[in-house]
């Protein structure tokens, strides 16, 4: 595997379900990010992790819960989501959060909440 | 005022012509600037970064930065149909925060 991988690529869940999104980076980077991309809206930063420590929580509802067990893996745990949470969820990584600009994105998880 | 603004398009350009994509940002002290390309159904891919005033060229792509005018642009020379995509402008350092703020993106179509 190379670059940034994400699983699953597609997910349909009901509002009462609990699911998790997984991201893995194979680039030796120290920072990882979760973004949300909705139609006709800019990419929204959700969370930033630097060396497994959360450094940014961009006013995200508590129904989204991130976890970063090591610098290569990032999870986004989902529970009691709303239909408006349907979007493309993108994971990205960079060398460090101090040099946040050159980010490498995974393919994304297309989430549909029914 | 949005922190990073782009014309959402669509911008249509004939094959072989120069495509010009523009972006403005709100915070004069922003530090670094990036262009990402996103094909339909795919994730964003970094294509250019620029850190100081002036032009930076990479192949058919030229990024231009004017910090006094808070303006960054991307020129694509000899446009190809494969350049058809959404181009995202991203700015790092708005309000001193080390994080990227993205514009809405400009959808570019190159017509054969």
Half-sphere exposure of B110 (CA within 13 A, CB side): 21
Which residues have a Cβ under 8 Å from the Cβ of B102 and sit 6 or more positions away? A42, A43, B4, B36, B88, B89, B90
Q: What is the pLDDT of residues B33-80, one digit of tens each?
A: 999 999 999 999 999 999 999 999 999 999 999 999 999 999 999 999
Interchain pair B102, A102: CB under 8 A: no
What does the pLDDT average to over B85-96?
90
Instruction: Spell out which residues of chain A touch residue B43, defining contact as CB-CB under 8 Å.
Output: 90, 105-108
Lowest mean pLDDT among A95-104, B69-78, B96-105: A95-104
Q: How far is the alpha carbon of A33 from chain B, nearest alpha carbon, in Å? A: 10
The SS3 assignment for A92 reads strand
Residue A13, token pair as written in the block: 């869940």
By the 10 Å C-beta count (0-12 exposed, 13-18 middle, 19+ buried), A108 is classed as: buried
Q: Inform me whether the pLDDT recorded for B96 exceeds 90.
A: no
- Of B4, B43, B103, nearest to A105 by CB-CB distance is B43
Q: Which residues of chain B make contact with A90, given a CB cutoff of 8 A?
A: 43-44
Q: Is the Cβ pair A56, B44 closer than 8 Å?
A: no
Which two three-digit tokens encode residue A106?
Answer: 């995974």
Asked if A49 contacts A34 with a C-beta cutoff of 8 angstroms, the reply is no
**Residue A84 DSSP code:** G
Tell me the β-bridge partners of B36. Answer: B46, B88
- For the stretch A31-82, pLDDT in tens is 999 999 998 889 999 999 988 788 777 789 999 999 999 999 999 999 999 9
**C-alpha gyration radius of chain A:** 13
């Amino acid at each position: 595997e190379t670059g940034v991988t994400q699983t699953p690529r597609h997910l349909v869940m009901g509002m009462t379900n609990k699911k998790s999104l997984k991201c893995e980076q194979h680039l030796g980077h120290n920072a990882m990010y979760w973004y949300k991309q909705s139609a006709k809206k800019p990419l929204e930063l959700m969370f930033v992790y630097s060396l497994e420590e959360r450094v940014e929580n961009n006013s995200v509802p508590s129904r989204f819960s991130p976890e970063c067990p090591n610098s290569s893996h990032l999870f986004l745990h989902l529970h009691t989501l709303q239909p408006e949470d349907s979007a493309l969820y993108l994971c990205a990584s960079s060398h460090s959060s101090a040099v946040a600009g050159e980010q490498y994105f995974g393919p994304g998880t297309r989430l549909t909440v029914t | 005022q949005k922190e990073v603004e782009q014309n959402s398009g669509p911008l249509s350009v004939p094959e072989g012509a120069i495509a010009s994509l523009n972006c403005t940002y709100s915070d004069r002290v922003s530090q670094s600037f990036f262009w990402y390309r996103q094909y339909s159904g795919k994730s964003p891919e970094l294509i250019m970064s620029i850190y100081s005033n002036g032009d930076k060229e990479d192949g058919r792509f030229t990024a231009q930065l004017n910090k006094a005018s808070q303006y960054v642009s991307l020129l694509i020379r000899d446009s190809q149909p494969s350049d058809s995509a959404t181009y995202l402008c991203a700015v790092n350092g708005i309000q001193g925060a080390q994080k990227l703020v993205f514009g809405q993106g400009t959808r570019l179509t190159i017509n054969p």
